[in-house]
Amino acid sequence: MKKKNIISLSIALAFLFLGTTGLLLYFGLKPEFVTSIHVLLGLVFISFAFFHIRNNWGSLKVYTKERKEGKVKKEFLVAAAIVAIFLIGAGFGLPPFAQIQHFGEDLTRGDKRKGGFFDKTSFDKIVTNKDKPGKTLQFIIEKSNEAMTPVMAIWTADPAGNFIDNIFVPSKTITVAAGEEDKRRALFEGNTTISNFTSLLLPAWQLAAKDTAANYAEATPTDNFFLTTTTKAGDKFQLLLEVRDNEKTELYKGTVDMAKGNVIALKAATSTLLVRVIAEVQ
């Protein structure tokens, strides 16, 4: 057996699997076995590439310099320039490299930064106050791109502002590690911390609420969501929603008057965390 043949064939096979797993990673398909194969075969590729370069060092020198004059060939300068452009573009996130980097994941999971197809159609469906009597309320809650790990509470109050009941109070919160630049990737890969919800996060709700018990066993959804619930409020009442993310807190309000209609849009003084909050009383 010839060592050169073994080295060349090993590099070719490793490259084939590296390319396959690289495409899977590019399109956001990152189960542990894919990552493991990609990393381990990457090490195999580097090891055999070292021997390949050593065996072909003479040829590489011919590709790099002119034999007679000793000048660096234009081909080498072009190759070096191409690599340098990609290194700088990718390293500093310059366009179009940043867009190309995320295109695969945006295609399969939806671009949450720009509102891709999957993002627009991705709504969780949750229910609270399931066994409590009262009016049925249905909410459509759509996040902005700024809200990646929101913490939210929704409640009702009478026309004078007195607390009636909780509509949505989570029992958990989701936190992405400090310094994580791509929160969307961290959420998808599960690089998060789950903690118990504390009312201190939502000061307006904490001040108003007479009942601080959670009525939802999970954290606030990180996707848009539909909420079905009940309230014991009468025909006239206020709907209030407080949301917190990125050290920013916003309060959304809407007034229900069944004599005037049963669909209400909740508004905030500044609405950067939520795009749309609509409630329907049934």
Cβ 245 vs Cβ 258: under 8 Å: no
User: Of the given ranges (7-21, 128-142, 176-190), which has the lowest mean pLDDT?
Assistant: 176-190
The pLDDT score that the predictor gives to residue 105 is 61
The pLDDT score that the predictor gives to residue 231 is 96
What is this structure's pTM? 0.59
**Residue 107: pLDDT band with limits 50, 70, 90:** low
Q: Is the pLDDT of residue 192 over 60?
A: yes
Question: With pLDDT > 70 as the criterion, what percentage of the chain qualifies?
Answer: 88
C-alpha atoms less than 13 angstroms from C-alpha of 124 in its C-beta half-sphere: 11
- The predicted model gives 197-211 an average pLDDT of 94
**Residue 116: pLDDT band with limits 50, 70, 90:** very low
How confident is the model over 122-156, as pLDDT tens digits?
678 999 999 999 999 999 999 988 888 999 999 99
C-alpha distances in angstroms, 53 versus 59, 60, 114, 160, 280?
9, 8, 44, 79, 69
User: Of the given ranges (28-42, 239-253, 264-278), which has the lowest mean pLDDT?
Assistant: 28-42
DSSP state, 72? Answer: B
How confident is the model over 40-85, as pLDDT tens digits?
888 888 988 888 888 888 887 777 888 777 788 888 888 889 988 9
The pLDDT score that the predictor gives to residue 114 is 43
For the chain, where are the E strands, in sequence order?
123-127, 135-143, 151-157, 163-168, 170-176, 192-196, 216-219, 224-231, 236-245, 248-257, 263-265, 267-268, 274-281
**Residue 180: pLDDT band with limits 50, 70, 90:** low
- The predicted model gives 213-238 an average pLDDT of 94
Q: Is the pLDDT of residue 195 over 70?
A: yes
The pLDDT score that the predictor gives to residue 274 is 94
